[in-house]
Structure 1
Amino acid sequence: MARYVRFDRFGGPEVLHILEDEPPQAGPGQVRVRVHAAGLNPVDWKIMKGGPAAAQYHGVPPCGNGNDFAGVVDQVGDGVTTLQVEDAVLGGKRMFAQADYVVVDADRVIRKPEALDFDRAGALDIVGRTAWATVSSLKLTARDTVLVSAAAGGVGVLAAQLARRTGATVIGTASPDNADFLRSLGVIPVAYGEGLVDRVREAAPKLTAALDNHGPATIDVALKLGVPGNRINTIAARGHRTDAGIAGVGGAEATLDDLARVADLLADGEIVLPIDTVYPLERVREAYEHLMRGHLRGKIVLALV
């Protein structure tokens, strides 16, 4: 038997439960992955609660949960020649990832670099693709100073480091508890909240770009500090200040090759992805309660092996 995280009605973490059923079987062109780790993302609980996210991603109860996973191929369907049993892989499959086994098209996963542990690999699909796409959208150079909000969170911490690799100066908003951590990455920390405009101005008199991972306040601060709308990208407040020409590039604009590049950078130690907490699958409700409280450093992961 195999375990699956499910919800049968919309609501908070209390609607999640674990169902036991027969494992799925790989069909033609597919592989079955024995999942070792499955990452949590804010979009998961937004789907779970219902509303626009559920409609956008077709999250209709009863259904599974989660997107990100990493594990080992244990079954190969007909016609698959690129992967074989015992290959370690990572990827995403929305509404299916939080389970002992995931069946996925063979061309929708990438090989896990040997030096990348399963926890980080299992947390990577959404944040890796999103961070790569958002940073690429601004075409940053060493002449830029970019504001990255929620810079200690899953997307933000990767985006801040990828932005640094372009040579840009990076200002990152975070809680004071994460200030030293951001400094260790070469990011200039500023505390979010009231007075943010003044703190950003003090840290960087000339701001040229912004990556919003938090909400409208980041966009408003950037505009007040003279950043042109076409040099602001948001994943958290699409539709805010559309008159300014702000972009909404996200993970959908990234490819699996982009995800592989991020995985390789992590494996080589060029960038880091902190794991805030690892929960066993049986504590999935507690894991989402933690996620929804916010103020994380990096990612939360469910351990299945």
Structure 2
Amino acid sequence: MPKAYVYTRHGGPETEAFADVDRPVPGPGELLVAVRAAGVNPVDWKLRGGFRRPGEGDARFPEVLGSEAAGVVEEVGEGVSGFAVGDAVFGNTSGGAFAQYALLTASVTAHKPAALSFADAATLPVAAATAYDGVRQLDLPEGATLLVTGAGGGVGAAALQIARAWGLRVVGVASEAKKDFVELLGAVHVPSGPGLAERVRAAAPEGVDAVYDLVGGEVLAEAAGLLGDRTRLITAGAAPDTVAALGGSRVERARTAAVLDEVAELVVGGELDPFVSRTFPLDEAGLALRAVEDGHARGKIVIEVSA
């Protein structure tokens, strides 16, 4: 039976385990994919802890971990067009990604360009697409200044690069340990921690035109105070009511194959580097998740699955 890395109940890492699972069967609008790589994201451990996405039902244990994958199509579900067995694809999973086989939602799946590795492709559906959606939502004019909090993580690193590709000046808030990384991405680095607003004002004395928050909490509140127009405040790091109280909004996710095509082209064109900092085999999926959960990962962590 195929192997998968699952969580058996809500809680911490102690709920995780390997399990032999039935090979998934694609339903209408789905693709069955032999996984070659799976991206690891903070949402993975948050779901394990009990977080549920809006409109998502209760967990049905054991739940396979992972939200994004790249691989090769094995079966095509009813009503799906544009895909065939043997196609190399990447997209959002509908049943977990840390496994030998995964179901991908066809409407949020794209063909993998030949010049794009499976490992890089597997990082795009969650982090890069979220970054893309947020920068596009802000719709800033060329030359404007964008402040990104949590700039050293997967979404933040992608947001800095996409903003730069679109002609924006970027200021990235991250730990001192990630200073060189943020500057490598073409951003002005501002250390995180108390007194953030003062340091941002010193780094960008002309002010910032928008904030893309990936942290929430006090960081979001302090960053909001830097804006005259709070409609230019968006977050993927706080709840809708929290950011609404500050005058901002959540990132509006497009969740389309077209966005995946566009971020893939940015990678192929050299404007976006997923910065896969480390890969783990499926047998070490737990270690891969710990690398993200401890909050110190730079760029993206990927699980690779043998063919």
TM (normalized to structure 1)?
0.91
Aligned to 1:243: 245
CA contact (8 A) 1:5 1:18 kept: yes
Note the C-alpha offset of 1:208: 1.4
Q: Is the 8 A contact 2:214 2:236 kept in 1?
A: yes
State the TM-score, normalizing by the size of structure 2.
Answer: 0.91
What's the CA shift string for 1:208-237, capped at 9, x where partnerless?
Answer: 110001113333233332342111001112
Aligned length: 304
- Counterpart position of 1:162: 162
Residue identity in the other structure for 1:45? W
CA 154–283 in structure 1, closer or farther in 2 if over 3 Å, else same: same
The residue number in structure 2 matching 1:279 is 280
Q: Is 1:267 paired with 2:242?
A: no
What's the counterpart of residue 35 of structure 1?
35
- Structure 1 match to 2:230: 229
Aligned partner of 2:144 in structure 1 is 144
Q: Paired residue for 1:191?
A: 191
- CA shift for structure 1 position 17: 1.2
Give unmatched runs, 5+ long, in structure 1: none
User: Which region of structure 1 is more displaced relative to structure 2, 162-171 or 21-30?
Assistant: 21-30
What is the rounded CA distance, in whole Å, between the counterparts of 1:103 and 1:51 in structure 2? 21
Instruction: Compute the displacement of 1:256 (Å).
Output: 1.8
Tell me which amino acid in the other structure corresponds to 1:194.
Answer: P
Indicate the residue corresponding to 1:86 in structure 2: 86
Q: Spell out, residue by residue over 1:139-161, the C-alpha distance to the aligned partner (whole angstroms, 9 max, x if none).
A: 11124211101112111111111
Report the Cα offset of residue 27 of structure 1.
Answer: 5.1
Corresponding letter in the other structure for 2:163 = A
Instruction: Indicate how the Cα distance of structure 1 residues 232 and 81 shifts in structure 2: closer, same or farther if over 3 A, else same.
Output: closer
Long gaps (5+) in structure 2: none
1:57 CA drift (Å): 5.6
1:288–1:144 CA distance, 2 compared to 1 (3 A):
same
Kept after mapping to 2: 8 A contact 1:90/1:122: yes
| Aligned-partner Cα distance in 2 for 1:71–1:115 | 14
1:225–1:72 distance in 2 versus 1, CA, 3 Å: same
Deviation (angstroms), 1:56: 4.5
**CA distance in structure 1 between the partners assigned to 2:188 and 2:162 by the alignment:** 14
**Larger mean Cα displacement after TM superposition, 286-295 or 110-119:** 286-295
CA contact 1:46–1:53 (8 Å) conserved in 2: no
